Amino acid sequence: MDQPIVIIGMGELGGVFAKAFLHAGYPVYPVTRKMNIDQAVENVPDPLLVLVAVAEKDFQSIMQTIPVPWRDCIGLLQNELLPRDWKSYHIDDPTVISVWFEKKKGMDYNVLIPSRVYGPKATVMADALAGIDIACEILSTEDDLLYELVRKNVFVFTINIAGLALADGASTANLWGQHNELALAVADEVIDVQQWLTGASFDRKRLIDGLIEGINGDLQHKCKGRSAQGRLERVIAVADEAGLKIPRIWEIKGAIGM
């Protein structure tokens, strides 16, 4: 029998990955918030992969509790993820996937573009997802991963924050087609913040092209989700810390009365 895969957090995304791994023949051991993680380690001392599938807001608290036997086989999938987020917990070589599909309660998953994955268990993850018709590309270098994480962050922050200035239910097609200047202005400021967070410089045109690819992947994708205001607040907090000017994002904050 194949080594088991542990999934911490069995929300919508965790459920998709569980389905993929089970379909591929891997035993899956779920860890929910009600379970004792130390007991879970005793039950599964040598997993192939420990996929941390909790929401962004729970990421830090969960990472603080990852037991030593599991720390060398971690997988991560959160939005807003950057290398500093796992390195701060002394996780040196995780398998990281930039997820480009969404799963909402009561609905099947919706693939925008192929997800990108890098790390020791990248092939395991990509093959499992392919088995349930979710396309995935395996990246070759850490630099490729960094670009893909930043590209996804630019997409998520741009459509969420710009979406706050639009009518409820506005789609990415509406944002890009009718409010293109707004989208580009927000994206440019988000890139400034991402460059400060990573200490790296990026080809802005390439990131904007990547943003457009994501938008074209599902033109009916809703811009504004439940996390939009939180993302606005986090971008402003980082910009303040860095001394970056993000006037268009501040303008949106003022317009919605935050």
Contact 238, 193 (CB under 8 A): yes
Contact 189, 249 (CB under 8 A): yes
Q: Are residues 130 and 16 in the same domain?
A: yes
pLDDT at 258: 67
Q: Are residues 185 and 234 in the same domain?
A: yes
**How far is Cα 110 from Cα 114, in angstroms, rounded to an integer?**
11
Q: For the segment 7-51, what is each residue's pLDDT rounded down to a tens digit?
A: 999 999 999 999 999 999 999 999 998 899 999 999 999 999 999
Q: Are residues 52 and 125 in the same domain?
A: yes
Q: Are residues 87 and 125 in the same domain?
A: yes
- The CATH number linked to 151 is 1.10.1040.10
pLDDT at 105: 84
Q: Are residues 62 and 133 in the same domain?
A: yes
Q: Are residues 44 and 73 in the same domain?
A: yes
Q: Are residues 185 and 111 in the same domain?
A: no
Looking at 140, 174, 197, the residue that finishes a domain is: 140
Which of 238, 237, 240, 236 shows the shortest CA–CA distance to 250? 236
Q: Are residues 163 and 118 in the same domain?
A: no
Q: Are residues 115 and 132 in the same domain?
A: yes
Domain containing 237: what range? Answer: 143-255
Query: Cβ–Cβ contacts within 10 Å for residue 192, how many?
Result: 18
Looking at 88, 113, 140, the residue that finishes a domain is: 140
Number of structural domains in the chain: 2
Q: Cα-Cα-Cα-Cα dihedral of 223, 199, 100, 55, to 10°? A: -80
Q: Are residues 136 and 13 in the same domain?
A: yes
Q: For the segment 192-208, what is each residue's pLDDT rounded down to a tens digit?
A: 999 999 999 999 999 99
The rounded Cα 231 to chain-centroid distance in angstroms is: 13
Q: Per residue of the chain (258 residues), what is the pLDDT tens digit? A: 689 999 999 999 999 999 999 999 999 999 998 899 999 999 999 999 999 999 999 999 999 999 999 999 999 999 999 999 999 999 999 999 999 999 888 888 999 999 999 999 999 999 999 999 999 999 999 999 999 999 999 999 999 999 999 999 999 999 999 999 999 999 999 999 999 999 999 999 999 999 999 999 999 999 998 899 999 999 999 999 999 999 999 999 999 986
- The CATH number linked to 129 is 3.40.50.720
Per-residue tokens: 3: 């080594």
Q: Are residues 124 and 161 in the same domain?
A: no
**How far is Cα 42 from Cα 111, in angstroms, rounded to an integer?**
36
Give the global pTM.
0.95
**Per-position DSSP letters for 78-138, written without gaps between them:** -TT--HHHHHTTT--S-EEEE--EE--TTS--EESS-EEEESTTHHHHHHHHHTTT--EEE
pLDDT at 73: 98
Q: Helix, strand, or coil here: 140?
A: coil
Looking at 140, 164, 184, the residue that finishes a domain is: 140
Q: Are residues 109 and 174 in the same domain?
A: no
